[in-house]
Structure 1
Amino acid sequence: MDELYTLDREVGRGSYGVVFEGHMAKTGHRVAVKRLPCSNPESIELYLQELWAMRATAKNHVNVIALHSCLLQTGSRSLKSLKPGKLPLPLVEAVLKGTVVGPQRGQERSKVSSNTPRRCNSASRLQDKTNTLLARAKPHPREKSTGSDSSTPRRPPSRATKRSAQQQEEEEEEQSGSLRCLALWLVMEYCDGGDLNRYLLSRPPDADRNHGVLLQLCSAVAFLHGLGITHRDLKPDNVLVCVTPKGPVIKVADFGLSKMSSAVVNGERCRQHFSSTCGSDFYMAPEVWGGLSYTAQADIFSLGVMFWAVLERITFVEEGTTQEQLGAYVCKGRWLMPLGEALWENADLQLSVPMKRAPRPLPPPGPAMCALLLDMLAFNPDARPSAGQLEARVRSALKQDSD
């Protein structure tokens, strides 16, 4: 049974890809569709990490974004559904060889129409209704111009229709193992509340809502760490929100920098050490700032920065941008310094929790929560609580401060 995903509008654009709001034509169910162009080995490696991590979560946690399906764009009109547990071998080869593999004859075609997802013989297809997907796309030289948008994929009138020369070329390339992969398309659940910055900062401060956000984030990260997934880029931009009658449902998303470990010793998962300096400045742990090896405990530091900012509604505007963001920091004169960087420069730095600000939009966190925040933001990773301990400690701190 064919599934048709229709792209309605662009909702986000980043360094690596574009996200569209879309829907399933048969059910009307809204989805988010993320296009990741496979143009270089470095980007492809991040895409495969994201795909592998999202598959590992397998829609098993309400606070982690769910992946519905993954499509591989193999030609200007071809989309192939990836089977569960399988990775596209040409992309794996590109990462291992350090070069994008594929036939030269397909490269000129991809310059014109690689952004146009069209179904040829796949189990799923995408129909583009946006003005942004391929504004500069030109009709394929073999196609006749019509009154409709030439960038809009159309289903062939019949499966028995004679295959085009291009389709035959692509099938031959696939059989020979030299098929060029133009892009990955990830079809995910849609979150109508936007990211955590947008959701919280567009509403009046509310302590109960903030506490719910903290507890859901604890649950999500404990689930991920239990699977051996270290996110490595936790920040409000990478937390999405679904608005429901019972309140916001938080979804941790964007696993492009995540790493997985499956090693288990004595019934417990090993603390795998990482060396790549990655993440976002205002949320990176001091050991990451210092270029040291680090573990999943770096995620706990990132959560600590987010928790502090959410509880006290601390915001900043990063240099070169105009968007207000949630995040805690240290003031150095007229400049803001990320907490991780400040602690790396001075491991004995005493953080002022709660931050002294006037006027306060919310009551400051109580003594128990302040103590927990300081533990999460400890310079020594081993002094921070584990993800498995965190939710219970947050509940206990909130209860103590309310008594």
Structure 2
Amino acid sequence: MDICDGKKRRKVSGGVRGCRRAGTGTMKREACKVLRSLMVQDNNRKKLTKEEEDEDCFTISFLRSERLGPGAAVAPRYSLLREVGRGSYGVVYEAIARKTGARVAVKRLQCDAPENVELALAEFWALTSMENRHQNVVQLEECVLQRNGLAQKMSHGNKRSRQYLRLVETSLKGERILGYPEEPCYLWFVMEFCDGGDLNQYILSRRPDPQTNRSFMRQLTSAVAFLHKNNIVHRDLKPDNILISQKSGSPVLKVADFGLSKVCAGLNSKNSEEQPAAGARDTGGNQNNIVNINKFWLSSACGSDFYMAPEVWEGHYTAKADIFALGIIIWAMIERITFIDAESKRELLGTYIRQGTEIVPVGEALLENPKMVLHIPQRARSSMSEGVKNLLQDMLAVNPQDRPDALQLEVRMDQVTCAA
């Protein structure tokens, strides 16, 4: 990634960069485009196959207008209003649920390649594995698998669905199993709509407000604690993936985009991506899931450069990497530390280390020099309290075992923000 005033930061050796999602400016906000609708069942439609009949398929249509095609058997469930985001493997629309009139976000992911299927399934598994809702985590309303104009509502771990099993097989085998170029297969995620943009846009378009900072700090730590309690490691926490809802009158943060997330199941998992971490600390004798998730070693070096912990650059890390990313976000938010992303030309919140004319992500700099002392706060006249300063130092510790876990962080964050 080229960053900051056209300066190029040196390339990282090894294969780390190829494993990560493309740079932080992947999502591009664009004007409304003409939207292509999915097929609606009509009298000329081909007969269902035996496999489709067995899987409780139904017709579905996402249309912009009220008018249906000739012979339509069912009204569209959602009307697409406009495109609000586009990435390398999907498109996000603002839409209206026709039955209730509620605004929703609809993300369409084309499952045309194994890597796209893997990202789509990771998001699906994370969003459907949560035991309950949390106000600071984006809510999935439903997920629909669409193929040949028919759609099937997806459910987590549905082993009776051949379509679902084929998607899993595509991801595992690394080859196309489901769908062809002329018959594309899509996953549609219907989620709550966030009308306040992302954290970058919200913070940088307003004057500094300590009260808002404190509220956002508590909301973010509460969200991460909830995810870790549900055995979910996000792995791509950054301001782009934190959305703002203003429906209640005051801003509510929503952690979103779970395409790189990892659901850590039982401790006896033999998956190479989920190995229990020998020697992981069990703090305070607490035996709940918040401790267990920190005993998993993950090996895929993924995320976005400026928010990645030192151990992620090495490709050997635990859920504590989320704590590090959160520390970078909070530090940047309080002091409004930004950089310019060369791809999107957007100003983004993110903390870094200056090395001559270059700027280097904090995690990479700590990997190269583990004894480096972070100067928190950066500004001499900062209003950062001593409690917040000490907490950030702990969150950004080079050794993940020295960082608080998500439950400890939530408790400490409440203490330091109430005392401020």
TM-score w.r.t. the length of structure 1 is 0.76
Give the CA deviation at 1:348: 0.5
Backbone CA RMSD of aligned residues: 1.9
Give the CA deviation at 1:46: 1.5
Q: 1:283 to 1:243 in 2, by over 3 A?
A: same
Q: Return the alpha-carbon distance in structure 1 between the equivalents of residues 409 and 362 of structure 2.
A: 20
Aligned: 1:38 with 2:111: yes
The one-letter code of the counterpart of 2:392 is L
Q: 1:307 to 1:231 in 2, by over 3 A?
A: same
Q: Return the alpha-carbon distance in structure 1 between the equivalents of residues 178 and 228 of structure 2.
A: 36
Aligned: 1:229 with 2:217: no
Aligned match of 1:325 = 348
Aligned match of 2:133 = 60
Aligned match of 1:283 = 307
Which digits, 9 at most, give the CA deviation of each residue in 1:36-82, with x for residues without a partner?
1001112211111110100112551111110001111111x222222
Report if aligned partners of 1:235, 1:302 keep a CA contact under 8 Å in 2.
Answer: yes
Aligned: 1:94 with 2:94: no
TM-score w.r.t. the length of structure 2 is 0.73
Q: Return the alpha-carbon distance in structure 2 between the equivalents of residues 376 and 281 of structure 1.
A: 17
Q: Return the alpha-carbon distance in structure 2 between the equivalents of residues 89 and 366 of structure 1.
A: 52
SS of corresponding position for 2:326: helix
Report if aligned partners of 2:95, 2:106 keep a CA contact under 8 Å in 1.
Answer: yes
Which segments of 5 or more consecutive residues in structure 1 lack a partner in the other structure? 115-181
Report if aligned partners of 1:59, 1:66 keep a CA contact under 8 Å in 2.
Answer: no
Aligned match of 2:211 = 208
The one-letter code of the counterpart of 2:410 is E
The one-letter code of the counterpart of 2:244 is V
Aligned: 1:17 with 2:90: yes
Q: Return the alpha-carbon distance in structure 2 between the equivalents of residues 337 and 84 of structure 1.
A: 40
Aligned: 1:344 with 2:363: no
Give the CA deviation at 1:96: 2.4
Q: Return the alpha-carbon distance in structure 2 between the equivalents of residues 194 and 93 of structure 1.
A: 35
Which digits, 9 at most, give the CA deviation of each residue in 1:165-203, with x for residues without a partner?
xxxxxxxxxxxxxxxxx1100000000011111111112
Which digits, 9 at most, give the CA deviation of each residue in 1:121-178, with x for residues without a partner?
xxxxxxxxxxxxxxxxxxxxxxxxxxxxxxxxxxxxxxxxxxxxxxxxxxxxxxxxxx
How many pairs were matched up? 322
Aligned match of 1:387 = 406
The one-letter code of the counterpart of 2:90 is G
Report if aligned partners of 1:283, 1:338 keep a CA contact under 8 Å in 2.
Answer: yes
Report if aligned partners of 1:12, 1:20 keep a CA contact under 8 Å in 2.
Answer: yes
SS of corresponding position for 1:256: coil
Q: Percent identity at matched positions?
A: 49
Q: Return the alpha-carbon distance in structure 2 between the equivalents of residues 97 and 274 of structure 1.
A: 20
Task: Indicate which of 151, 161, 165 corresponds to 1:79.
Answer: 151
Task: Indicate which of 248, 264, 267 corresponds to 2:251.
Answer: 248
Give the CA deviation at 1:320: 3.3
The one-letter code of the counterpart of 2:133 is N
Give the CA deviation at 1:395: 2.1
Once the two structures are overlaid, the 10-residue window that deviates more, 260-269 or 333-342, is 260-269
Q: Return the alpha-carbon distance in structure 1 between the equivalents of residues 350 and 368 of structure 2.
A: 19
Aligned match of 2:319 = 296
Q: Return the alpha-carbon distance in structure 2 between the equivalents of residues 17 and 285 of structure 1.
A: 27
SS of corresponding position for 1:247: coil
Give the CA deviation at 1:220: 0.5
Give the CA deviation at 1:281: 0.1
Aligned: 1:50 with 2:69: no
SS of corresponding position for 1:221: helix
Q: Return the alpha-carbon distance in structure 2 between the equivalents of residues 306 and 102 of structure 1.
A: 39
Q: 1:8 to 1:276 in 2, by over 3 A?
A: same
Aligned match of 1:238 = 241
Aligned match of 2:66 = none
Q: Return the alpha-carbon distance in structure 2 between the equivalents of residues 241 and 78 of structure 1.
A: 33
Q: Return the alpha-carbon distance in structure 2 between the equivalents of residues 102 and 217 of structure 1.
A: 38
Q: Return the alpha-carbon distance in structure 2 between the equivalents of residues 58 and 187 of structure 1.
A: 18
SS of corresponding position for 1:319: coil
Report if aligned partners of 2:394, 2:404 keep a CA contact under 8 Å in 1.
Answer: yes
Q: 1:52 to 1:245 in 2, by over 3 A?
A: closer
Q: 1:399 to 1:58 in 2, by over 3 A?
A: closer
Q: Return the alpha-carbon distance in structure 2 between the equivalents of residues 67 and 203 of structure 1.
A: 29
Which digits, 9 at most, give the CA deviation of each residue in 1:241-294, with x for residues without a partner?
101454111110111111111225955525110011100000000011123x11
Stretches (4+) displaced over 6 A: none
Aligned match of 1:160 = none
